[in-house]
Amino acid sequence: MDWKILKARIIKWIRTGSTKKQWNASIHSVFANNCIKCHGVIPGLPDFKQFSVVKSLAATDMGASPASLTRVSHIHLFGIGFIFFFVGAIFSLARGISEWVKAVLISVPFVFLISDVLSWWLTSLSPQFAWLTIISGIAYTLASVIMLSVCFYQMWWPSFRHSGRSY
């Protein structure tokens, strides 16, 4: 039988709860005909002659648990929030940058930190939200890099420090 059809049958069986009834009725033979020549004889590979082994591998991975999401959300919001707070505080003293540019650059990391943490929870509802995690990460990293580069340049770059410019 075509591999794609086999795959679809196995996936359908898993999505409908990987029941013992269906296993006995039809799925068992799919494994018997296609899989056990390896999975059942090669040591170290899961033995697909046993329903319990197939059943355990058919479990759907639901991603991070609410408990671990809560823990990591807490660490990120407070830990990274603090870093952004200090970076923003130092950047607020930078010279030659208009107030509104400062306001935007200082707020961006906080906004995207929240959307980042929110996106993990939303991703456990729908995988589409993984995009929000990526976008948020890029956004707050960019804003931080800009702020840190300006700060380091103005604090440490000799020609800037000694120029005495106050623009």
Binding site for ligand HEC (CB under 6 A): 6, 10, 34-35, 37-39, 45-46, 57
The smaller minimum CB distance to ligand HEC, of residues 3 and 78, is found at 3
The whole-angstrom separation of Cα 120 and Cα 113 is 11
Q: Provide, rounded to whole angstroms, the least separation between the CB of residue 163 and ligand HEC.
A: 60
For CA atoms 88, 90, 92, 97, the dihedral sign is: negative
The smaller minimum CB distance to ligand HEC, of residues 29 and 68, is found at 29
The smaller minimum CB distance to ligand HEC, of residues 37 and 165, is found at 37
- Backbone φ and ψ for 114, nearest 5 degrees, come out as -65, -45
Q: Provide, rounded to whole angstroms, the least separation between the CB of residue 38 and ligand HEC.
A: 3
Q: Where does the chain have alpha helices with state H?
A: 3-15, 20-22, 28-34, 51-57, 66-75, 81-91, 99-123, 130-156, 158-163
Neighbouring residues of 147: CB distance < 8 A, sequence distance ≥ 6: 87, 88, 90, 91, 94, 105, 106
Q: Provide, rounded to whole angstroms, the least separation between the CB of residue 39 and ligand HEC.
A: 5
The smaller minimum CB distance to ligand HEC, of residues 56 and 107, is found at 56
The whole-angstrom separation of Cα 19 and Cα 27 is 10
Q: Provide, rounded to whole angstroms, the least separation between the CB of residue 36 and ligand HEC.
A: 8
The whole-angstrom separation of Cα 167 and Cα 160 is 11
The smaller minimum CB distance to ligand HEC, of residues 7 and 95, is found at 7
Q: Provide, rounded to whole angstroms, the least separation between the CB of residue 51 and ligand HEC.
A: 13
